[in-house]
Amino acid sequence: MYQHDSAYFPDCYTASRRPVELVFYAEFTNIGFAIDKEKQIKKWSRAKKEALINGDFDELPNLAKKRFDK
């Protein structure tokens, strides 16, 4: 968090988006699984990410469904 908030790496994504705030974290025992989960969450919609942050875990499956309105 310190590196993100202090722009330790000036060319990084968060350097121009400060201050940063930690809103969710999870602990993993396997680094590969942690990286896979991070990549998965990055692809989620904003609504689904907000549900995760707010702890609305029951909403996550509903927000994952594709809508085929035609």
pLDDT for 70 = 54
Contacts for 15 with CB less than 8 Å, ≥ 6 apart: 7, 9
Which pLDDT tens digit goes with each residue over 4-61?
A: 888 899 998 888 888 989 999 999 999 999 999 999 999 999 999 999 999 999 999 8
Whether residue 22 contacts residue 1, with contact meaning beta carbons closer than 8 Å, is answered with yes
pLDDT for 13 = 87
Distance CA 64, CA 37 (A): 15
Distance CA 16, CA 7 (A): 8
- The residue with greater pLDDT, 8 or 65, is 8
Overall pTM > 0.85: no
